[in-house]
Amino acid sequence: MAVLQRTIAEKLGVSQMTVSRALRGESGISQETRTNILDTAREAGLALPPSPKLVNDTTLLHALCVMGDSGGAEGFFSRLRDGMSRGARECASEIMSCPEPLGAWPAVVARKQVDGAVLLRGDNRAPLPEPTCPVPQVYLFDGPEHADVVTVDNFDGGVQLGVHLGEMDHRRVAFVGPETNLARERLAGLRTGLERSGGECPVDVVRMRPGCGGQGSGPVDSLLGGETRPEALRERFTAIMFYNDFFAVHGIKRLNEVGLRVPEDISVAGFDGVGAANNGGQQLCTCAIPLEELGAEATRFVYWRIEHPNAVRRRLVLEVALVPGDTVIRVADQG
């Protein structure tokens, strides 16, 4: 193969690297050069896949551009990506990752060199500037009003946790998280679930802030208000629901640092299922998100949109499942 690539390069007066990139379908090569390389390769008897489609004289790679923040809890993005890869393979495609773009779409998107784009949007960041995305796009978790979105039932997950906490006799539950649509949906669900057993999540024990919101010691310290006596805290709340497992694990660490035990002094719940089995030997009470299926559905959705460009925008909502865990116990067992 290397000998054949060198022969093609010498015949056309281009570098062997350019030949290799053209044969792999990579971008950054003029269409004329790419066509000459592929034609020469076929004449030399090299078996190649069908020529890629052209859109506005630009090669269209059979790939999806995935954009978004890959930070956060270990395993969260990798599980999403595994699902995206699975969905892409089902559509004879692959995925390529890009960081969250600032001010403009990545070059491969702007030039229509990919089939579509998947954007990981878990908060309220402003939409990308005009012009609108030149290829079909699907948002994960949250997105603009008239966008295709694949998300989970955050409200129902909050309800499930609220009902479970109510069954454990928790009547006053605190909430810690960021100031985002997803956090507000989870908080609303928590309150609805608690109401079924006469419980509540009062405003004075809710801590929602822009940015990280629930990560670090600040929100927990603010909630405690300098009080670390379990009997005094239980007059205000007996459990804390965190926006996600990542925040919950950090919250438990901070509670332990100030001398509070979980769940003996304060019960704790998270949301997403990522940190459920990685919490110092404790099974975290949470609502598990089907991350792999979420990612797979997002990539399938892009190709469905390609086939149905004029269909109304859709919002696909996946269910979540309660994981009771060890970090929530009955109020009677606390203390």
* DSSP secondary structure, 252-319, as one string: HHHHHHTT--TTTTSEEE-SBSSSTT-BTTB--BEEE--HHHHHHHHHHHHHHHHH-TTSPP-EEEE-
- Cis, bond preceding 106 (omega within 30 deg of 0): no
User: Which phi and psi (to 5°) does residue 136 adopt?
Assistant: -55, 140
| 294 and 148 fall within a common domain | yes
| 174 and 259 fall within a common domain | yes
pLDDT digits (tens, 9 = 90+) for 172-183: 999 999 998 999
Query: In this structure, what CATH number is given to the domain that contains residue 102?
Result: 3.40.50.2300
Cβ–Cβ under 8 Å, residues 255 and 219:
no
Kindly state the average pLDDT of the residues 252-259: 95
| 161 and 202 fall within a common domain | yes
Residue 26 has pLDDT above 70, yes or no: no
* H or E stretch covering 201: none
| 141 and 260 fall within a common domain | no
- Residue 20 covered by a domain: no
Radius of gyration of the chain (CA): 25
- Residue 36 covered by a domain: no
Kindly state the average pLDDT of the residues 4-8: 81
Q: Which residues contact 316 (CB under 8 A, 6 or more apart)?
A: 149, 150, 151, 297, 301
- Residue 164 covered by a domain: yes
Q: Which residues contact 102 (CB under 8 A, 6 or more apart)?
A: none
- Residue 114 covered by a domain: yes
What confidence score (pLDDT) does residue 17 get?
74
What confidence score (pLDDT) does residue 252 get?
94
* DSSP state at residue 151: E
- Residue 33 covered by a domain: no
What confidence score (pLDDT) does residue 126 get?
52
Residue 199 has pLDDT above 90, yes or no: yes
| 283 and 295 fall within a common domain | no
Structural domain including 93 reads 63-153+290-319
Q: Cα separation of 136 and 122, whole Å?
A: 19
What confidence score (pLDDT) does residue 325 get?
92
| 255 and 307 fall within a common domain | no
Percent of the chain whose predicted confidence (pLDDT) is above 90: 48
Question: Tokens 């670090």 label which residue?
Answer: 216
What confidence score (pLDDT) does residue 28 get?
55
Position 184, amino acid: R
Burial class for 53, CB neighbours closer than 10 Å (0-12, 13-18, 19+): exposed
Cβ–Cβ under 8 Å, residues 208 and 181:
no
| 193 and 326 fall within a common domain | yes
| 226 and 297 fall within a common domain | no
Counting DSSP H helices and E strands in the chain, the numbers are: 11, 14
Of these ranges, 132-136, 265-269, 278-282, the one predicted with the greatest mean pLDDT is: 265-269
What confidence score (pLDDT) does residue 335 get?
75
Q: Shortest CA distance to 239 belongs to which of 160, 330, 310?
A: 330
Q: How many domains does the chain have?
A: 2
| 274 and 179 fall within a common domain | yes
Confidence grade of residue 58 (pLDDT, cut at 50, 70, 90) = very low
Q: Cα separation of 149 and 314, whole Å?
A: 7
Q: Cα separation of 148 and 137, whole Å?
A: 7
| 199 and 160 fall within a common domain | yes
Of residues 1 and 327, which shows the higher confidence score?
327
| 255 and 310 fall within a common domain | no
| 201 and 213 fall within a common domain | yes
Q: Cα separation of 206 and 202, whole Å?
A: 7
Strands (E), 122-191: 137-141, 148-152, 173-178
Of residues 175 and 89, which shows the higher confidence score?
175
Name the average pLDDT for the chain. 84
- Residue 239 covered by a domain: yes
Terminal CA-CA length for the chain? 72
What confidence score (pLDDT) does residue 249 get?
92
Question: Tokens 């005094």 label which residue?
Answer: 232
- Residue 212 covered by a domain: yes
Residue 54 has pLDDT above 50, yes or no: no
- Residue 49 covered by a domain: no
Residue 303 has pLDDT above 80, yes or no: yes
